[in-house]
Amino acid sequence: MKPIDIQKDLKSEGFCLLQGLNITNSQWSDWLKKHDSDLTTFQQSWNDLPEDNFLSDGGHYRFRRYSVFNWYASGQLELLPHEPHYQSTYRNNMNGGIYREFEPFKEATVKSPVLEKLIRLVTKEISFNNEKQWRVQAHQFRIVASAEEPGNPTPEGIHRDGADFILIMVLERQNITGGVNHIYDDDKRLVFGSVLTEKGDAVLIDDRMVWHGVSEVYPIDETKPAYRDVLVLTFHNQVNG
């Protein structure tokens, strides 16, 4: 299998699909296999996410934590003082326009070797112009589905986050169907769709080139827990040169 070229795909298509542990012959899968046990420990922190109380549709399907970091080309990951999350109504016409207070990442999650090494790997690929510093907004999401209420990973619909690049990585899918990641061109025409099924499956997006969204998730067995655990990292160029 031909290795993926992340930078080439980002520049030409505006996104790159990064397959997980079940795919061979790629830098991404090699990294995931090397850190498989750390990823398993990292995912366990998704079991303690507070409910998102800012869903204007009245839903109770989303749980999350949020923290912000600076990444420096020297290799330093700096946790910034905790702050509310804000998106304009232009970016998020459903839940934007207000400052939303979410609980921060737990200390053990921040100190996980997965987070630092993952950010290191991604910034290496997106620093086309030798960018020296990135502001990284980090989101832990658990989307829960039940017989009474499907889970909606992107209730705001087709959108952009207002970042330079976005990484969306699945940590676990438990007893669900659906959850198709869609990519749209600048005119919001669908150009790609894929379900991120395995631990470590991800899509890296140039948020300036394309739009994205995710379809609802539904339980397979309505008598058992059903959820989708995802890490979202948005990268904002801070210093160039």
Which H helix or E strand runs over 207? none
Extents of the domains making up the chain: 6-240
pLDDT at 11 over 70: yes
Question: In CATH, what number does 6-240 get?
Answer: 2.60.120.620
- Comparing CA positions, the residue from 120, 228, 129 lying closest to residue 167 is 120
DSSP 31: H
Amino acid of residue 4: I
Q: How far apart are CA 73 and CA 87, in angstroms?
A: 27
For the cut 90, the answer to whether the pLDDT of residue 33 exceeds it is: no
Asked whether the beta carbons of 120 and 52 are under 8 A apart, the reply is no
How, if at all, do strands 202-206 and 180-184 pair?
unpaired
The first and second tokens of residue 214, run together, are: 């995710």
* Mean pLDDT within 63-80: 95
178-202 residue pLDDT tens: 999 999 999 999 999 999 999 999 9
pLDDT tens figures, 206-222: 999 999 999 999 999 99
